[in-house]
């Protein structure tokens, strides 16, 4: 399973997540200081194709469920 992490996490917590998931894609919003709105989030979800998502600032809407 693949996890997409958009929230800031410590290295220790990322290592823990890596024991639960086959792949962890770590792109915290704090790297750029920008949140993803619906269009950007959809584009990145289609690119990364995660099974699970951790975010704290990005805009998540019903349109992203499809």
Domain that holds residue 54: 24-66
Provide the number of structural domains found in the chain: 1
Q: With respect to residue 7, please indicate whether it lies within any of the assigned structural domains.
A: no
25 Cα distance to chain centroid: 7
Indicate the SS3 state at residue 3. strand
Q: Is the whole-model pTM more than 0.85? A: yes
Residue 2 pLDDT: 98
- For residues 5 and 45, the answer to whether their CB atoms sit within 8 Å is no
Residue 61 pLDDT: 86
Q: With respect to residue 33, please indicate whether it lies within any of the assigned structural domains.
A: yes
Task: Walk along the chain (66 residues) and give the pLDDT tens digit of each residue.
Answer: 999 999 999 999 999 999 999 999 999 999 999 999 999 999 999 999 999 999 999 988 887 776
What whole-number distance in Å separates Cα of residue 44 and Cα of residue 42? Answer: 5
């Amino acid at each position: 399973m693949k996890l997409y992490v958009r929230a800031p996490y410590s290295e220790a917590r990322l290592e823990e997540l890596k024991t639960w998931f086959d792949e962890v894609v770590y792109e915290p919003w704090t790297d750029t200081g920008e949140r993803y709105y619906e269009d950007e989030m959809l584009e990145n979800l289609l690119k990364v194709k995660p099974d699970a998502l951790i975010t704290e600032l990005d805009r998540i809407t019903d349109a992203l469920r499809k």
